[in-house]
Chains A and B, each alone.
Chain A
């Protein structure tokens, strides 16, 4: 069975500082990996995804993530954050196929301070 671990429930960071949000997964088969962002009182927005190919994936709003198969990780990074990046970030894994269930991590609150 798949699972996703986001070890950090909250990451405080100052504006213009770099940030990394950690995500580790476990699965017995090949997976697709996603990062979604949820701004306060809103739905989920797709930030980026890894389906295959290059392990470095670039997304919207200057975010990027690197798929590391040996470490079963898919950490999200941004070189310089803004106040507007304050949100909940969910890492998710899917095996695709007929069920296409998204298994979510517990989320990381990125709190950007001025």
Chain B
């Protein structure tokens, strides 16, 4: 069982809505990640946080806004999304950068 918990499991939002995806881990990991996965494709890295500081932004559009309130929590704020942003959003964590990455179950996002 994954120890990375994501909520909600499913989210449907309109293009003018503001919503957030939440991720929590209690493994004491200091690195956390957001990945995006489209159907039948591998996950693509979006953001990396290390010790609560943004370490990598893979040129993600500003309509996606990450936040790391503390070492256990990672949020992804969504605003003015497009239908093509519909995907599975995976949160992950690792003990430190350079260590094995563990994934959550994902949040299925549909933009209508």
Among the 9-residue stretches B11-19, B59-67, B71-79, B100-108, the one with 4 or more Cβ atoms under 8 Å from chain A is B100-108
In contact, A45 and B43 (Cβ under 8 angstroms): no
In contact, A46 and B90 (Cβ under 8 angstroms): no
Inter-chain residue pair count (beta carbon < 8 A): 61
* Main DSSP-derived SS at the A contact region: loop
**Contact residues of A between 75 and 114, Cβ < 8 Å to B:** 90, 94, 96-102, 104-107
In contact, A42 and B106 (Cβ under 8 angstroms): yes
In the complex, chain A residues whose CB is within 8 Å of the CB of B98: 94, 96-98, 100
Interface size for chain A: under 10, 10 to 19, 20 to 34, or 35 or more residues?
20 to 34
Bound Cα distance A32, B105 (Å): 23
In contact, A43 and B2 (Cβ under 8 angstroms): yes
Is B99 positioned at the interface, with any CB of A under 8 Å from its CB? yes
Is B68 positioned at the interface, with any CB of A under 8 Å from its CB? no
Chain B contacts to A: CB under 8 angstroms? 2, 6, 31, 40-43, 45, 48, 55-56, 88, 90, 92, 94, 97-106, 108
Chain A contacts to B: CB under 8 angstroms? 32, 34, 36, 41-46, 49, 51, 90, 94, 96-102, 104-107
